[in-house]
Amino acid sequence: MKEEQNLITKLKGEMALSAEESTELDALLDSSSSIGNVIRDLPHEEPNLVWRSQLNEKLSVLAEKPKRRIGLWKWASGVVVVGAASLAVWSVVNTRTPVIATTNTTIADSTNFEDQLMQSHVESAAAMDVSSAYALDVVSSKETSYTGEEEWSTSDLESL
């Protein structure tokens, strides 16, 4: 009796049954088959003709609809997606974007920053010295400026 109650408890809890319990359950189902006959004998009610007519109308509408080419649509949409993805990848790879970077790579590579800075200044000054704008400016200043340091001598005046 206790085993039977345990089995019922397991059945209600939908727990896993042992091999013996499964065999016992099969036997119980066999012995209760007359209940199955009662259920089998329940009458089946036929739907009325109005119901059937409504169903036929709905089905005929569906039958007249052309079949959707689901496979074709799937294929076409797949091609479009792959094409769009390829285009996007190509445009990313082949587009040249401006590169922002510092230009003092020489200084950065140098081990002595001060020496490089000094060299850069000297070179810049030399470049200014040899430039035409500076030379003209010097010539111009020599021609126009008079400091008064050179005075005329008496002999110079007499020779005039």
Chain contacts with another protein (rule: CB under 8 A):
4, 8, 10-12, 14, 16-17, 22, 25-26, 28-29, 31-47, 49, 51-60, 62-63, 67
Minimum Å distance from CB 72 to another protein? Answer: 15
Closest to another protein by CB, 45 vs 158, is: 45
Q: Quick one: 14 or 156, whose CB is closer to another protein?
A: 14
Q: Concatenated DSSP letters for 7-25?
A: HHHHHHHT----HHHHHHH
Minimum CB separation of residue 48 from another protein in Å reads 9
Tokens linked to 51: 């119901």
CB of 33 to another protein, least distance (A): 7
Are the C-beta atoms of 17 and 10 separated by less than 8 Å?
Answer: yes
CB atoms within 10 A of CB 73: 10
Nearer to another protein, 60 or 97 (CB): 60
Residues 107 and 113 sit within 8 Å (Cβ to Cβ):
yes
Query: Phi and psi dihedrals of 118, rounded to 5?
Result: -65, -45
**At how many degrees (to 10) do helices 19-31 and 2-13 cross?**
90
| Distance in Å, CB of 55 to another protein, minimum | 5
Which residue in 47, 3, 55, 49 sits closest to 24, CA to CA? 3
The residue (of 11 and 79) whose beta carbon lies closer to another protein is 11
